[in-house]
Amino acid sequence: MSLGGEKSFKMRMRDMENAFKYRRIPYPKRSVELIAILAISCTFFLFMHTNKLNSRLKEMEIKLQPSEFSALGLTGNQISPRESSRRDNINTLHGTYQYLKSTGQLRSLSTSSLNNTRKADIDILFFNRCAKVGSESMIQLLGNLETINGFNLDHFGPGKGTRRNLPPREQERVADYVFRLGAGSAYVEHISWINFYDFGLPKPIYINLVRDPVERVISWYFYARNAYKNAWVFRKNPNANLKSAVWFKKDFNECVRSGDPECQYVPYTFVDSTGNFKRQSLFFCGQNLDCLPFDSPYAIQMAKDRVEREYAVVGSWEETNVTLTVLENYIPLFFSGAKRVYYLNKESLENRNRNNRKPYVAEDVKQMIRKNFTNEYDFYHFCKQRLFKQYLALNHKEFPIN
């Protein structure tokens, strides 16, 4: 091959190489959009997965650490088989008594160590009432005691409806309102716990009530469909949208069994398809966003911390006599004579806001729901065990106390 021919051949090869190297491959516009959507979806998935892992890590930290806030001085990870058998009845007053006696803790019980009333900075009672725990009966009882014990009861306040969390400015507005009521006042509102110290204000005396978690959500389901309640709401908001007749007639058993979103209580969820107040612990956990994931061990532990450190009494109408006895003895300024007044007005107090037409709910349906309330039940039993300890500390040598 001649020199010119060889040069021409090399030039052609170089041209072909450049053509392949620099050629532009056209992509359809739709393919580009598809790739962009795929990239965004992957990013969102990774974000959600990372967020979930972070929550699980927090929960594992709690599980791996000994709990400071077990009502009976137990840590869930350190129970021997012998102790386990003792705990079979631990959620009853007698079971708590037997456990404390058998472990030698009964003799060391003292009202001074169990009474947070002395930690309050001002004699204002703050009842940040949970929904559907019998708080209307407590309000009526406080109303009956108001004149007898010489305090002022306020259950109107600055609140604008019940919200799960308040921004700091709204929290401060409520805290300032309560503070301005002055000593010798009792304030009641559906609101999550507020830290008065965050706003440079003295701490009041906190109280609350708890109820069986599943019975609470069932009660709320039928309360939301109560004709009187809806008529009252419509009277306040004439332009509000009314629910359909189908919604009002919806059967709770079928709602749960069919997987209706309204009756699905899914752990770790933030958003509810319908407001249902399923988070009893939220009223104690407080305003932190970490309190929102439903049935989260982390939120439950925060709620236990609040109860142990901040609340004078957390009672339950399921233990009426115990609750009234503890309130009388631990917060006498407001509850002196509470038992006598309660039993004099027992019929009206017990029927307060009660739904006597609540339809039957099957036991298997309740069992289905309970599986999703594991940690809420842990909190509920914690509060009751603490209440029993406060009761037994009053006179544990002569159990039971009448």
pLDDT tens per residue across span 67-115: 444 566 543 333 444 444 444 478 899 999 999 999 999 989 999 999 9
Nearest Cα residue to 138 out of 338, 333, 272, 292: 338
DSSP states of 226-272 = -HHHHHHHHHH-TTSPPPPHHHHT--HHHHHHTT-GGG---TT----
CATH of the domain spanning 111-398: 3.40.50.300
Contacts of 293 (CB under 8 A, 6+ apart): 55, 267, 268, 269, 270, 299
Is pLDDT above 50 for 248?
yes
More confident residue, 184 or 64: 184
HSE, CB side, 13 Å, CA atoms: give it for residue 221: 26
Amino acid sitting at position 341: V
The predicted structure's pLDDT at residue 32? 61
In percent, how much of the chain has pLDDT > 70? 72
> Mind telling me the catalytic residues?
190
Nearest Cα residue to 150 out of 326, 333, 324: 333
The predicted structure's pLDDT at residue 243? 77
The predicted structure's pLDDT at residue 45? 60
- Listed range (153-157, 226-230, 278-282, 346-350) with the worst mean pLDDT: 226-230
> What is the distance in angstroms between the CA of the first residue and the CA of the last residue of the chain?
120
Answering whether pTM is above 0.85, one says no
Contacts of 172 (CB under 8 A, 6+ apart): 198, 199
CA distance 204 to 189: 14
Residue for token pair 């056209």:
26
Q: What is the largest CA-CA distance in the chain?
A: 124
Q: Bridge-partner residues for 206, per DSSP?
A: 126, 311
Phi (first) and psi of residue 153, to 5 degrees: -105, 130
Angle at 254 between CA 368 and CA 275, to 5 degrees: 75
CA dihedral (183, 186, 189, 195) in degrees, to 10, reads 40
Q: What are the extents of the domains in the chain?
A: 28-56, 111-398
Q: Can the peptide bond before residue 26 be classed as cis, meaning omega within 30 degrees of 0?
A: no
Phi (first) and psi of residue 188, to 5 degrees: -130, 130
Tokens matching residue 319: 């233990």
The predicted structure's pLDDT at residue 62? 40
Is pLDDT above 50 for 190?
yes
CA distance 154 to 173: 15
316, 383 in Cβ contact below 8 A? yes
